[in-house]
Amino acid sequence: MSTDNGEVVVSQEALEPLTDELKIVLKHLRHDLSSAAEDGVPDSLALEALAARTIRAIAEGDERASLVRKRIESQWTEGNARKAALIERTATLSKTTSDLESHDDSTVIWPRHAIAVAIGCWFVTAIAANLLGLRGVSAITLAGGALLFGGAAAYALYAMGVRQTASRVGAFAAVALVSAIMALAFALDDNLAAAPFAFVAACAILGCAIGFGLAEGALGTESERGRRQLLQKTRNGLAAATAELERVLPGELARSGESAKALVEVEGSHHDQAAEDFRSTASSVISRADLASRAELEALRESLTDRIRDAAQSHLTIAVRPTSTTPDSHDTTLA
Amino acid sequence: MTVASTESSAAGRKALAFPQERASSPSFGDWMSLAAAGLAGSVVLSLLLAVLGYFYGFSRALVVWAIWWALAGVFVLRGPANALGRSVAGWREPRPDEGEILTNAFIRVCVAAGENWGSFTHRVARGSWNAHASGRNILAATADVLTGEDAVEPVELEAMLAHELAHHRHRDLLLAGPKWWLLAPLALVDVVGRALSHVPLLGPPLAAALWFPFRWIVFPFRAISSLASRPRELAADRFAVDCGYALPLERLFERFAGLERSWQGGLFEWMLSTHPGAADRIAEIRGVEAETAGIPRLVSEA
The string of pLDDT tens digits covering residues A223-234 is 666 777 888 898
- Highest mean pLDDT out of A39-48, A191-200, A226-235: A226-235
| B183 within a domain of the structure (yes/no) | yes
The pLDDT, as a whole number, for residue A279 is 80
Cβ separation of A236 and B6 shorter than 8 Å? no
Which B residues, 49 through 68, put their C-beta within 8 Å of a C-beta on chain A? Answer: none
Q: Which residue of A has its CA nearest to B119?
A: A236
The confidence score (pLDDT) of residue B14 equals 40
Q: CB neighbours of A244 closer than 8 A, spacing ≥ 6?
A: A82, A86, B104, B107, B108, B111
Most B CBs within 10 A among A236, A246, A253, hence the mutation to make, goes to: A236
Per the domain annotation, does B133 fall within a domain?
yes
Indicate the SS3 state at residue B106: helix
Answer yes or no: is B178 within a domain: yes
Average pLDDT, chain B: 84
- DSSP one-letter string for B223-289: HHHHHHHHHHHHHHHHHHHHTT-HHHHHHHHHHHHHHHTTT---HHHHHT-SS--HHHHHHHHHHHH
pLDDT at A207: 64
Angle at B289 between CA B286 and CA B295, to 5 degrees: 170
Does the pLDDT value for residue A15 go beyond 60?
no
pLDDT tens digits for B126-173?
A: 888 889 999 999 999 999 999 888 889 899 999 999 999 999 999 999
Helix (H, G, I), strand (E, B) or coil at B192: helix
The count of other CB atoms within 10 Å of the CB of residue A164 is: 17
Q: Work out the minimum CA distance from B22 to partner chain A, whole angstroms.
A: 15
Model confidence at B56: pLDDT above 80: yes
ipTM for the whole complex? 0.80
B4 in any annotated domain: no
Task: Using a pLDDT cut of 70, give the percent of chain A over it.
Answer: 44
Q: Residues A194-221: what's their mean pLDDT? A: 58
Higher pLDDT, B179 or A168: B179
Residue of B nearest to A239 (CA): B116
Is there a contact between B114 and A251 if contact means CB atoms under 8 Å apart? no
Q: Tell me: pLDDT of B15 over 70.
A: no
pLDDT tens, residue by residue, B113-130: 999 999 999 999 988 888
Could you say which residues from 118 to 147 on chain B have a Cβ atom under 8 Å away from some Cβ of chain A?
A: 118
Tell me if B3 is assigned to some domain: no
Give how far A271 is from chain B: nearest CA, Å: 31
Instruction: Using DSSP, state whether B125 is helix, strand or coil.
Output: strand
User: What's the domain count of chain B?
Assistant: 1
pLDDT > 90? residue A72: no
Q: pLDDT at residue A4 above 90?
A: no
Average pLDDT over residues A41-65: 75
Largest CA distance in chain A: 144
Radius of gyration for the alpha carbons in chain A, expressed in angstroms and rounded: 43
Q: Is the pLDDT of residue A186 over 70?
A: no
| Min distance B18 CA to chain A CA atoms (Å) | 7
User: Is residue B297, in this structure, part of any structural domain at all?
Assistant: no
The pLDDT value recorded for residue B291 is: 79
Position A218 pLDDT exceeds 60: no
Put simply, the answer to whether A236 touches B3 (Cβ < 8 Å) is no
The pLDDT score that the predictor gives to residue A166 is: 44
3-state SS track over chain A: CCCCCCCCCCCCHHHHHHHHHHHHHHHHHHHHHHHHHHCCCCHHHHHHHHHHHHHHHHHHHHHHHHHHHHHHHHHHHHHHHHHHHHHHHHHHHHHHHHHHHHCCCHHHHHHHHHHHHHHHHHHHHHHHHHHCCCCHHHHHHHHHHHHHHHHHHHHHHHHCCCCCCHHHHHHHHHHHHHHHHHHHHHHCCCCHHHHHHHHHHHHHHHHHHHHHHHHHHHHHHHHHHHHHHHHHHHHHHHHHHHHHHHHHHHHHHHHHHHHHHHHHHHHHHHHHHHHHHHHHHHHHHHHHCCHHHHHHHHHHHHHHHHHHHHHHHHHCCCCCCCCCCCCCCCCCCCC
Strand partners, B131: B141
In a domain, B109, yes or no: yes
The residue with greater pLDDT, B10 or A72, is A72
Measured CA to CA in angstroms, residue A40 lies from A33, A44, A92, A181 at distances of: 12, 11, 75, 122
Which member of A78, A233, A244 has the closest CB to residue B107? A244
Q: Is the dihedral of CA B284, B286, B290, B295 positive or negative?
A: positive
DSSP for B45-70 reads: HHHHHHHHHHHH-HHHHHHHHHHHHH
Q: In this complex, do B7 and A85 lie within 8 Å of one another by their Cβ atoms?
A: no
B44 is a domain residue: yes
Question: Residue B35 — very low, low, confident or very high, per pLDDT cuts 50/70/90?
Answer: very high
Interchain proximity B116–A239, CB inside 8 Å: yes
Query: If pLDDT is split at 50, 70 and 90, which confidence band does A139 have?
Result: low
Mean of pLDDT values over A257-265: 77
In contact, B199 and B164? CB cutoff 8 Å: no
How far off is chain A from B225, nearest CA to CA, in Å?
A: 30
Q: How confident is the model at residue A222 (pLDDT cuts 50, 70, 90)?
A: low
Q: Which domain holds residue B168?
A: 20-291
What does pTM read for this prediction? 0.67
User: What is the band of A1 on the pLDDT scale with cuts at 50, 70, 90?
Assistant: very low
Other residues' Cβ atoms within 10 Å of the Cβ of residue B28: 9
Q: Which of B255, B242, B256, B252 is nearest to B300 (CA)?
A: B242
Distance between CA atoms of A134 and B181, rounded to whole angstroms? 62
Cross-chain CB nearest to B1 (options A78, A236, A243): A78
Residues of B in contact with A234 (CB under 8 A): 17-18, 114
DSSP state of B87: H
Mean pLDDT across the stretch B250-255? 89
From B165, B190, B171, select the one nearest B240 (Cα to Cα): B165
Q: Render B132-157 in DSSP notation, one character per residue.
A: EEETTTEEEEEHHHHSSTTPPPHHHH
